Copies of this chain bind each other. A is one copy, B any other.
Amino acid sequence: MERNLVGDVVDKIGGKVRLKGWVDTVRDHGKITFVDLRDRTGIIQCVGANLERVSPESVVEVIGMVAARPEKLINPKIKTGSVEIQIESLKIISPAAELPFDMGTDDLNLDLPTLLDYRALTLRHPKQQAIFKVQAVIINAFRQALLKKDFVEFQAPSIISSVPEGGAEVFKVKYFDHEAYLSQSPQLYKSLLVGVFERVFSVNQIFRAEPSVTTRHLTEATSLDAEFGFIDSWKDVLEMEEYVVRHIFSEVGKECKNELALFGATLPTLSDKIPVLKLRQAQEIIFERTGRDIRAEKDLAPEDEREICKWSSEEKGSDLVFISHFVTKKKPFYVYADPEDPTYGFSVDLLGRGVEWSSGGQRLNDYEEIIEHIHDWGLKEKDVELYLQSFKYGVPPLGGFALGAERVTMHMLGLKNIREASLFPRDMERIDTRLSETTQK
């Protein structure tokens, strides 16, 4: 007898099924026992008499009849709530040890360190699983959107030989007799590949030796990178990014209804067009709305990001907003300075729900200008040798953007800490297990 999946059982009333999965919860009513069985497609209630004692999270096989539940016992909260399995046999495939905490509640009420100390277990909770199903849909939607537009996927390397943009937050690798580093971004690779494929994207791990423990930083994260050539202006970059983000929202909306519902989450609201503000315009608006005069600042502080997102939602009906024209010299060397006022560059952040989701913009493509910027920024040509090689031999006007997969997941679901949006979060104090006994207690 083949295995049946929980998700396929509802229309098999009166039939016999063979289910395999995990014991989600056990409710022992004396002779009668209720066992909720969980597999990759859902949860179903099974009921039997004189069953062998079985512990939650054990892997079991249940053979039984599918029966309709009486009207008043129907559970509208789960998809299989109109039926139950009358157990004929229950076999333990792999027993679970006693759980360190109750897993059978709608929410896992654990503090973050405990959630992570027991990561292999806590990920099994349906709400934890949901986070990463949404993340997988986000990442796949990113790819599919770009494949439709002729982008070529590439695999970005993680080990790099130099750190042109300064090494404060870079991890060092002992590379045979040399020193190497972990890549903070595939920026230079994706740009140089525009000279090859015109349009490229990658999904890859990036690394930052962030020396502090915050709710929004990880030392290893997943970056969704896109870059393309033959743009007519920096606004083409925004258009492509908006197209990708809308595709992601649409796919999550279609594929993740249940997952969003578990978190009481709704997709960000978008109007016809994501508003675009220059940094200085955004600062003016913040000044007008709050009286805080930040108009001379070179960047937006976290509270500014929250305020401008509030403005965008209230005034423009858009939970997302682009901020452009940051101060050129505060950006990396490849930023394209606005010819009308080179103090500001064609760099663009996408903010959503109060925080930065992505950064991007137009990049320099003229070889001589790139060389000039490298010198102005105090860098060495030798450290960007391969990158320069590309531009020496002709690259069209180009731009691109990078979305943080964990950030997008976090803010789509309303999570409080970015660690919740990473399967195996790494920070200064933790690589799976705690790095020292005294931390995070």
Q: Which residues of A contact B (CB under 8 A)?
A: 3, 20, 22-23, 39-41, 57-59, 93-97, 99, 118-121, 123-124, 128-129, 132-133, 135-136, 139-140, 143, 147, 150, 152-155, 157-161, 171-176, 178, 180, 182, 189, 192-193, 195-199, 203-205, 207, 209, 211, 219-220, 222, 230, 365-367, 385-387, 389-390, 392-397, 405, 423-424, 426, 428, 431-433, 435-436
Contacts and interface: CB of A to CB of B under 8 A. Distances in A.
Counting from the closest, the 4 A-B pairs by CB-CB distance are A120-B390, A96-B394, A161-B431, A120-B389
Contacts of A432: 160-161, 385-386
Contact of A393 (B96, B205, B220, B426): B96
B395 A59 contact: yes
A171 B174 contact: yes
A140 B153 contact: yes
B423 A155 contact: yes
A433 to B, nearest CB: 5
Given A161-B432, A192-B120, A220-B157, A171 B173 contact: yes
State the main secondary structure of chain A at its contact with B: mixed
Contacts of A393: 57, 96-97, 99, 120-121, 124
B40 A150 contact: yes
A298 to B, nearest CB: 29
Contacts of A193: 123, 423
A430 to B, nearest CB: 9
Given A159-B219, A182-B173, A139 B120 contact: no
A435 B175 CA distance: 10
B132 A152 contact: yes
Contacts of A93: 396-397
Given A96-B392, A197-B40, A390-B120, A171 B175 contact: yes
B153 A136 contact: yes
Work out how many copies of this chain go into the complex: 2
Nearest to A150: B40
Contact of A172 (B40, B155, B173, B397): B173
Contacts of A203: 155, 203
Given A3-B230, A58-B394, A172-B173, 13 more contacts: A57-B394, A94-B365, A94-B395, A99-B393, A133-B152, A136-B154, A140-B147, A155-B205, A155-B423, A157-B220, A158-B220, A175-B209, A175-B435
Contact of A211 (B132, B155, B176, B405): B176
Contact of A152 (B136, B176, B431): B136
B176 A209 contact: yes
A97 B41 CA distance: 58
Contacts of A428: 176
A310 B349 CA distance: 56
Contacts of A175: 171, 209, 219, 431, 435
A41 B152 CA distance: 12
Contacts of A150: 40-41
16 contacts: A93-B396, A123-B196, A132-B152, A140-B147, A157-B205, A157-B431, A158-B182, A159-B171, A159-B207, A159-B431, A160-B432, A173-B174, A175-B219, A175-B435, A205-B205, A385-B433
